[in-house]
């Protein structure tokens, strides 16, 4: 392996493999809705077709079509465990996308949904697609989805002209006890209990001056108290910030621009059968020549 490949692999270990294991359970809870074009692709496979789902995550596509035999694999054992717990009948295994254990030139089809964009260099992305293609028979189709640079009105705000290699945050939800707002411990006095100056023993003529002085002292005391509260609030906010940065994990993505995924598939030795855009992603159906 070259030095460049080693560097790329180290980056993928840190910003892809490790992160997916850390966020697996939370990630899995958010991944249950199949994308329509993937469902359509799977439903249109012939009865008894045998295929692979490379980077199957929690296995949301493994149960779509009961008339095919689909083997899902993922680099993250955490996500594969989630898939197995969701449905013990899913065919899943832990494997690396660059060293797949599936027999070569055997499968009728393959899918790889939102996976190829995690490899950190173009060379490795093309290599990954070539490796998937090596598993399907001649004429076998591979459906690949990658995140798009052109995301229109999505909340992430990625668009043309931006840097394509990005670190995308994943914020882990903490448990209630951990996220409890610490600022709430400093409660303000309610108006009901507002203090009044004690005027007993003060001559009526002196009362106005007494009250004015009392108010001034109260004001000073209150401003000190407010400053203290503000400090406490800032401290609490800083603590919350620390909690949040601990719970934010970054994943590497290469955001594909229009036409790029087609180019990568052709470079990997596939022909283009279909391509398009769905839900902030570019997709290609490429065929083994």
Partner 1 sequence: MKLLTTNFLKCSVQSCDTSNDNFPLSYSAQSTLARDESIEFNAAFLLKILDRVDWPAVVTVAGELGNSGLPATKPVLSSGDVAQLGDDELALLRDLHVLLVQTTLVEGEMKCRNCGHTYYIKNGIPNLLLPPHLA
256 binds partner 1 (CB under 8 A): no
Give the C-alpha distances (Å, rounded to integers) separating 259 from 101, 266, 284. Answer: 30, 11, 10
Place of tokens 């931006």: 162
Give, for 262, the enclosing helix (H) or strand (E).
helix 260-267
Tell me how far apart the alpha carbons of residues 161 and 149 are, in angstroms, rounded to a whole number.
Answer: 9
| Shortest CB 46 distance to partner 1, Å | 8
**Complex with partner 1: residue 69 or 214, whichever CB lies closer:** 69
Residue 261 beta carbon to partner 1: minimum distance, rounded to whole angstroms: 25
3-state secondary structure of 9: helix
Q: How far is the CB of 229 from partner 1 (least distance, A)?
A: 52
Q: How far apart are CA 24 and CA 229, in angstroms?
A: 39
**Does 249 help bind partner 1 (rule: CB under 8 A)?**
no
Q: Does 91 bind partner 1 (CB under 8 A)?
A: yes
φ, ψ of residue 166 to 5 degrees: the values are: -130, 160
Residues 67-86 that bind partner 1 (CB under 8 A): 67, 69, 71, 73, 75, 77, 80-81, 84
CB of 225 to partner 1, least distance (A): 58
**Contact (Cβ atoms closer than 8 angstroms) between residue 254 and residue 117:** yes
> Cβ 83 to partner 1, closest distance in Å?
9
Q: Between residues 119 and 282, which has the closer beta carbon with respect to partner 1?
A: 119
Q: Which stretch binds partner 1 (CB under 8 A): 99-107, 118-126, 150-158, 183-191?
A: 99-107
107 binds partner 1 (CB under 8 A): yes
> What gap in Å lies between CA 20 and CA 252, rounded to an integer?
11
Nearest to 14 by CA among 128, 167, 148: 167
CB 11 within 8 A of CB 31: no
Chosen residue from 93, 202, 247, 272 binding partner 1 by CB under 8 A: 93
Taking CB under 8 A as the binding criterion, the range among 87-95, 189-197, 224-232, 256-264 that sits at the site for partner 1 is 87-95
Residue closest to 112 by CA, chosen among 209, 29, 38: 38
Of 2, 3, 33, 99, the one binding partner 1 by CB under 8 A: 99
Tokens 């990954």 sit on residue: 128
Yes or no: say if 254 and 267 are a contact pair by the CB < 8 Å rule: no
Q: Is 64 in the site for partner 1 (CB under 8 A)?
A: no
Give the footprint of partner 1 on this chain (CB under 8 A): 46-50, 66-67, 69, 71, 73, 75, 77, 80-81, 84, 88-89, 91-96, 98-104, 106-107
């Amino acid at each position: 392996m070259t030095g460049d490949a080693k560097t790329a692999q180290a980056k993928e270990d840190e910003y892809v493999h490790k992160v997916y294991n850390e966020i697996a359970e939370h990630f899995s809870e958010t991944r249950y809705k199949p994308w329509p074009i993937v469902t359509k692709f799977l439903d249109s496979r012939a009865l008894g077709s045998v295929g692979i789902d490379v980077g199957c995550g929690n296995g949301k596509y493994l149960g779509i079509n009961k008339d095919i035999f689909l083997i899902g694999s993922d680099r993250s054992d955490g996500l594969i465990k989630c898939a197995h717990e969701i449905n013990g009948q899913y065919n899943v295994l832990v494997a690396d996308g660059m060293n797949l254990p599936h027999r070569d030139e055997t499968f009728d089809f393959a899918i790889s949904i939102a996976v190829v964009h995690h490899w950190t260099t173009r060379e490795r992305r093309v290599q990954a697609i070539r490796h998937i293609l090596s598993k399907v028979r001649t004429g076998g189709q591979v459906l690949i989805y990658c995140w798009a640079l052109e995301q229109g009105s999505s909340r992430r705000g990625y668009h043309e002209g931006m840097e394509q290699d990005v670190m995308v945050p994943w914020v882990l939800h903490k448990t209630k006890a951990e996220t409890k707002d610490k600022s709430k411990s400093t409660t303000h006095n309610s108006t009901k209990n507002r203090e009044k100056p004690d005027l007993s023993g003060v001559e009526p003529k002196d009362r106005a001056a007494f009250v004015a002085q009392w108010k001034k002292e109260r004001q000073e005391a209150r401003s000190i108290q407010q400053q203290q509260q503000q400090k406490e609030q800032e401290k609490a906010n800083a603590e919350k910030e620390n909690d949040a940065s601990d719970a934010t994990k970054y994943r590497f993505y290469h955001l594909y621009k229009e036409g790029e995924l087609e180019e990568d598939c052709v470079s990997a030795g596939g022909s283009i059968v279909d391509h398009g855009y769905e839900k902030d992603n570019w997709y290609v159906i490429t065929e083994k020549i």
